[in-house]
Amino acid sequence: MMRAFVTAVYGFLYLPIALVVLFSFNAGRHASEFTGFSFQWYGRALSNTFLMEALTNSLIVATTSAGLASLCGTAAAIGLGRAGPRTRAVFDALFGAAIVVPGVVIGIATLVALVQLFGIVNPALAALWPGDTPPRLALGYGSIIAAHGLFSTALVTMIVRARLGALGRDMVEASSDLYAGPFTTFRCIVLPQILPAILAGFLLAFTFSFDDFIVAFFVAGSQTTLPIYVFASIRRGVTPEINAIGALVLAASIVLVIAAQLLLRRRTPASS
Amino acid sequence: MASETLDIEFRGVSKRYGDVTAVHPTDFAVPKGAFIALLGPSGCGKTTCLRMIGGFEQPTTGQVLIGGADMAEVPPYRRPVNMVFQHYALFPHFDVSANVAYGLRQVRPRLTSSEIARRTADALAMVQLAGFGKRKVHELSGGQQQRVALARALVNRPSVLLLDEPLAALDKKLRTDMQIELQNLQRELGITFVLVTHDQEEALSMSDVVCVMNGGRIVQLGAPDEIYDRPADRFVAAFVGKTNFLDGTVVENGGNAARIRLANGMEIGARLTGGGAPGAAVSVSLRPEALRLGAATGETGLGGIIRNRIFLGSTAEYAIEVPGLGTLLATADHDAARSDLLRPGDEVAISFNPGAPLAFPVADNKTTQRETSHVEVLS
């Protein structure tokens, strides 16, 4: 009885995903009947310029936001490690909140904030700009990267903080005791030991940004990311081309998440 | 000033964390080439003192001097001291050689790589780890890691070596070996060693000077035998070595020749430390090895019944129930221990040298206890 129940739960979870992958190899044109095995939809997907543009956008946004998040998150984690207990508690709570706040809220909040900001900055820029065509801030790459980077920074900070905590103050003090200044200590002792955590944070941030639809949908402006493209195409009818994209994204996500887990699990250099 | 013959000097040094005082204003000096042990229960401030020498903590008041120079603004990486950390703090991503060479690589102007290699190899040979240079740290046993930590500190030829409970994580056999090795190294190198430990045996056996701390204060500073034979107060008597405490009251305070009435009504001579008017409650310390056991004679002396016998090889310990005084611990050496006389259930007479009993005011102990528990919050 229990076994049947568990099977049903996992079936309900994974069967649709399996079907997506299966139908991506469908020779037919409909997502409802499997008429033969074929790679044609992968070929179609890869030669679709709109799709490829959306993919490129997604890759740019994901790489940039994950890179920024890794930098800022690591810096924040190190700074917090040295902060007083009260400061630390406050910021830990804030970072935690950034992770649990629903994407819809982040999306709307970012959109409203950015529109307000542009409303103030753009006229000011126009008034102050010496040339004829003042730059105009608008929604686009920048706003998606900012929104994703914000969330991802919290993610990276949490991951790196955990690793720094395991590192302990002994290692840093030992380095300092052996005549190494703060910069050398960071470069030779701290960085090599938290690098796996930073990379894992980067990969998770990348995955999040690459898969995100909700936040991007609000702040993308005229830009199209891959999830936005997929959502838009589904409204025009599901073709196995969408399945092919889904299967590709799924495969890439799985690879990235596994890589992140492997990096995090890599034998923590024990002091014992 | 004599500061050039002093390696470390504390001038009115204290350390507070918020409302908690870890170290009360303290003065002490360590002469060049000494082996000093900071001994005390956990939370007594000994590690804080060591960390202030290393530069990892800043004193709240006062000055720490190393080799006569004030260290107030000097960060750890510019101090001529090196530390062996309690959990070794070896760098796990380096091999043994790289760990040992780490300090040498920071020296400016740079040392040549052949010089670094030579000194690293010498240091490893000194701690009997020649040929272990290419091993990873996690491939070594606890004792070997301990030696790497020692080599990593000594290779820099510091003027002072700080040791933070370095032997606490080793098993007993290894600990004894390392004690001897540390003592030899210290004599050969002539470097000042400052050892922090809560193990009184370790402090007594290794160092020239023992600094007993309690509740953030230095209670007594002196040679190991001085600490053991003439403890400054009841805390030191109880913390260093084993002892029996007997309750009593002062009959006559003659200092070195005070008369004390014990709880069973018996009157004995004792050396009274810390003063006490006639009638004041005191605690009399009698070391187990100062007690001599003999056949019960029926005279009006101290006597009791043997309850337990713990045979330790070269000596044996006896728990003796003495009417009116409780259970006393006595140590007898091997020959006496073999005697048929001393078996559980036997009645024995107990005697001791007139100079053996040390009396301490009881109130002294209570204040000490309170401070200890207060400071223990820290650790």
Task: List, as one string, the DSSP characters of A82-127.
Answer: HS-HHHHHHHHHHHHHHHHS-HHHHHHHHHHHHHHHHHHHHHHHHH
Which of A86, A170, A171, A179 to probe by mutation at the B interface, max B CB count within 10 Å?
Answer: A179
- The residue extents of the domains of chain A are 50-265
Q: How confident is the model at residue A127 (pLDDT cuts 50, 70, 90)?
A: confident
Taking the CA of residue B232 and the nearest CA in chain A, the distance in Å comes to 35
Q: Please tell me whether the overall predicted TM-score, pTM, comes out greater than 0.95 for this model.
A: no
| Chain A residues in contact with B106 (beta carbon < 8 A) | 178-181, 184
CB contact under 8 A, A179 and B107: yes
Given a cut of 80, is residue A47 above it in pLDDT?
Answer: yes
Q: Is B195 exposed, middle or buried (0-12, 13-18, 19+ CB in 10 A)?
A: buried
Residue-level pLDDT at B339:
60
Q: Which of B56, B77, B92 sits opposite A181 (nearest CB)?
A: B77
What is the interface pTM, i.e. ipTM, of the complex? Answer: 0.82
d(CA B107, CA B56): 20
d(CA A266, CA A43): 37
Q: How confident is the model at residue A206 (pLDDT cuts 50, 70, 90)?
A: very high
Q: Helix, strand or coil for residue A152?
A: helix
Q: For residue A51, give both structure tokens.
A: 């799709």
Residue-level pLDDT at A240:
82
CB contact under 8 A, B75 and A176: yes
Q: Which residue in chain A is spatially nearest to B157 when comparing CA positions?
A: A178
Q: Which of A170, A181, A192 sits opposite B89 (nearest CB)?
A: A170
Residues in chain A: 272
CA gyration radius, chain B: 25
Which is nearest to B328 in space by CA: B299, B355, B357? Answer: B357
d(CA A13, CA A10): 5
**Chain B contacts to A (CB-CB under 8 A):** 54-56, 75-78, 81-83, 85, 87-93, 102-103, 106-107, 138, 152-153, 156
Beta-carbon pairs below 8 A across chains A and B: 66
Q: For residue B363, give both structure tokens.
A: 């109130």
Q: Helix, strand or coil for residue B19?
A: coil
pLDDT, tens digit (0-9, with 9 covering 90-100), for A61-112 = 999 999 999 999 999 999 998 888 899 899 889 888 888 888 899 899 989 9
Q: How confident is the model at residue A241 (pLDDT cuts 50, 70, 90)?
A: confident
Q: For residue B280, give both structure tokens.
A: 């004041």
CATH of domain A50-265: 1.10.3720.10
d(CA B106, CA B113): 12
CA angle B105, A271, B149 (to 5 degrees): 45
Taking the CA of residue A170 and the nearest CA in chain B, the distance in Å comes to 6
Residue-level pLDDT at B301:
73
Residue-level pLDDT at A269:
44
Q: Which of A170, A178, A193 sits opposite B93 (nearest CB)?
A: A193
Q: In whole numbers, what is the pLDDT of chain A averaged over residues?
A: 87
H helix or E strand, kind and range, residue A219 = helix A214-219
| Chain A residues in contact with B156 (beta carbon < 8 A) | 178-179
Which is nearest to B77 in space by CA: A103, A212, A32, A188? Answer: A188
| Domains detected in chain B | 3-234 (3.40.50.300), 241-364 (2.40.50.140)
Residue B217: count of CB within 10 angstroms of its CB: 18
CB contact under 8 A, B76 and A173: yes
Q: Which residue in chain B is spatially nearest to A191 when comparing CA positions?
A: B93
Q: What is the DSSP letter of A26?
A: B
Q: Which of B83, B88, B92 sits opposite A177 (nearest CB)?
A: B83
Residue ranges of chain B whose pLDDT lies below 50: 1-3, 364-379
| Chain A residues in contact with B152 (beta carbon < 8 A) | 178
Taking the CA of residue A270 and the nearest CA in chain B, the distance in Å comes to 7
Q: Which residue in chain B is spatially nearest to A170 when comparing CA positions?
A: B89
